[in-house]
Amino acid sequence: MNEFEPVIIAFCCNWCTYAAADIAGTSRIQYPHNVNIVRVMCSGMVDPIYVLRAFEGGADGVIIAGCSYVDCHYINGPVKCDAMFERLKGIVHTLGLEDERLRREMISTSESIVFAHVVEEMVGQLKKVGPSPFRKVREDITV
Amino acid sequence: MTLDDIIKETNTFYCLECGKCSSICPISRYNPAYSPRVMVEHALLGLEDDLVYNRELFSCLTCDACQPKCPSDVNYPLFIQKMRAIASNNGEHGECAHSGTLQSLTRLVTNPAIKQRRLEWLSDEFHTSDRSDVLFFVGCAPYFEHIFDFETKSIDIIKASLKILNYFGIEPVLLPNERCCGHDMLWTGDVETFKRLAEHNAALISESGVKKIIFSCPECYQTFKENYPNYVKIDCELQHISEFLSEAIEKNEVSFKETKRTVTYHDPCRLGRHMGIYEPPRKVLEAVPGIELVEMKHSKEESLCCGTSAFTNCDLYSKQIRVERLLEAKDTGAETLITSCPKCQIHFRCAMVNKGEEKGPDVEIEVMDMVNLVANALEEKN
């Protein structure tokens, strides 16, 4: 049997984390291929529905990553994201999903190594936790 | 089900086009683009596409204000429910409030493999058991706590209900993996999901072997009583907590502390017009010494709606309806607006929190569920 390969959806802010992921690519930093990046303009625009739909579609884990408080392009995006994330954590926890499946990160443009490290760490955790119960909803998803 | 079948089933064919429905409709009063009469006319003319792809199809609150007024007994809420099922099959879902978070959650809990953590708020002060004849249906309250960015107090309703049941020596069964009753799914046309939820719940309930189910949410109550029999079999007595309390008061099984407060009661549409339960909650409130119950201008059958149903098309008009209702409650001079539906409470609280940019009328009033008031007024048993 093939080893379980988790599917991770990462919502990355255009200004910091997406650029960090981009630089990680161009600098040839190795990180697992399980992550699917969705570019958003700000981490503050990520709505709980984005994450729930990701789980509904069969994702095993979701990362929401953006600028730190001082870097934000839109003044207070990370603050909004934090408030949303608190509520989201509650929803996901009540649903019975493991806390490891959801992660909030602040990765600025120059921290491409941090991005690679976060993805690596999360893939490791998710391999231990196992596939999400919603995974079989869509079996055609492959990484 | 085709349009023809719906017309036959809901008596739409007998419509006289008198327009009484449109004159009583809370949405039509604010939104001139929406008229139940026109919707019915479209159906009679066979303009199925005009109905299915009409944004206003999802504007209806299904509050049942129109049906009692209809001289031809057209079942308009049922007509809307069935039309939405057709619309849903065609990919139309209305504009879901909160970007559809609640709908998505409901779809997620249809998964048979999940192990929800719904009962983490349960503390030692409440007594529950695994073997009891009575089941308390918790509903969506554990999720509501996290979905909204303001205090919903939904879990307090559940806690108060448990306190009341414990007071009568009932240690109810709570299902740790209970699913949403599917009310919102049914009323937004997603019948497939509704069926799956009903099957899950029916299986869990028959497994627990209870004989009676008590609800604190009128929507769950209505769904179990009116809609589940069409899909699944539930061999239990179903009771709303207000009925349970009024029975206990009739038997003189309960004593209350003096609670000084002027209150007014808002009839939730599902409990009132849909299920016809007007008197039990009033009886309960009047049984508490010191409580003075004043009626709003529109009460009982005439009661106004809280403005949104099934979390779809929550828009400016919904807000206006809410403000109107809150102002009506304030006009009575009551300190507290009592309701018995957690969703009505959420909608009223939302209207008070999200005031918008323009400074509207002052709508601040304390909103409380009936069970909270009763639970606070219960006299300690020695």
Interface contact flag, B108 A134, Cβ < 8 Å? yes
The stretch B138-150 carries a mean pLDDT of: 91
Query: Dmax over Cα atoms in chain A, in whole Å?
Result: 49
Answer for the pair B341, B268: CB distance below 8 angstroms, yes or no: yes
Interface test with B, best of A45, A47, A49, A88 (most B CBs within 10 A): A49
- Choose the closest CB to B114 out of A47, A52, A95: A95
Q: How many CB atoms lie within 10 A of CB B235?
A: 9
Q: Does a structural domain hold residue B382?
A: no
Interface contact flag, A91 B105, Cβ < 8 Å? yes
Give the nearest chain B residue to A84 (CA atoms): B149
Q: What is the predicted pLDDT for the residue at B149? A: 86
Q: Does a structural domain hold residue B188?
A: yes
Is the predicted pLDDT of residue B182 greater than 70, yes or no? yes
Identity of the amino acid at B27: I
| B55/B177 same-domain check | no
Q: Which of B247, B270, B291 is where one domain is finished?
A: B247
| CA distance linking residue B301 with residue B295, whole number of Å | 12
ipTM: 0.88
B150 Cα to chain A: minimum distance (Å): 11
- For residue B333, the domain's CATH number is 3.40.50
Is the predicted pLDDT of residue B354 greater than 90, yes or no? no
Structural domain boundaries enclosing B83: 3-89
Q: Does a structural domain hold residue B273?
A: yes
Q: What is the predicted pLDDT for the residue at B239? A: 94
Rounded to 5 degrees, what are φ and ψ at B298?
-105, 115
| B14/B68 same-domain check | yes
The stretch B240-262 carries a mean pLDDT of: 91
Interface contact flag, B116 A96, Cβ < 8 Å? yes
Mind listing the pLDDT tens digit for each residue in B53-67? Answer: 988 899 999 999 999
Q: Which of B197, B217, B247 is where one domain is finished?
A: B247
| B81/B34 same-domain check | yes
| CA distance linking residue B185 with residue B196, whole number of Å | 11
| CA distance linking residue B242 with residue B282, whole number of Å | 9
Q: Does a structural domain hold residue B225?
A: yes
Residue with tokens 């609800």: B215
Give the bridge partners for B237, in sequence order. B212
Rounded to 5 degrees, what are φ and ψ at B100?
90, 15
B111 CB near a chain A CB, below 8 Å? Answer: yes
| B101/B243 same-domain check | yes
Question: What is the band of B253 on the pLDDT scale with cuts at 50, 70, 90?
Answer: confident
The stretch B127-153 carries a mean pLDDT of: 91
- Which structure tokens are listed for B25? 């409709």
Q: What is the predicted pLDDT for the residue at B316? A: 87
Give chain A positions within 8 Å (CB) of B101: 47-49, 52, 91
Element containing residue B102 per DSSP (H, E): helix B101-108
| B118/B67 same-domain check | no
| B224/B115 same-domain check | yes
Q: Which of B191, B219, B247 is where one domain is finished?
A: B247
| B152/B224 same-domain check | yes
Is the predicted pLDDT of residue B358 greater than 80, yes or no? no
Interface contact flag, A52 B105, Cβ < 8 Å? yes
Q: What is the predicted pLDDT for the residue at A23? A: 95
* Count of domains forming chain B: 3
For chain A, the 3-state helix, strand and coil shares in percent, each to the nearest 5, are 45, 15, 40
The stretch B27-32 carries a mean pLDDT of: 91
| B38/B153 same-domain check | no
Domain A8-132 has CATH 3.40.50: yes
Per-residue pLDDT of chain A (143 residues; tens, 9 = 90+): 577 889 999 999 999 999 999 999 999 999 999 999 999 999 999 999 999 999 998 899 999 999 999 989 999 999 999 999 999 999 999 999 999 999 999 999 999 999 999 999 999 999 999 999 888 644 555 55
What is the average pLDDT value for chain B, to the nearest integer?
91
| B105/B183 same-domain check | yes
Q: Does a structural domain hold residue B44?
A: yes
Q: What is the predicted pLDDT for the residue at B275? A: 93
| B350/B233 same-domain check | no
| B79/B102 same-domain check | no
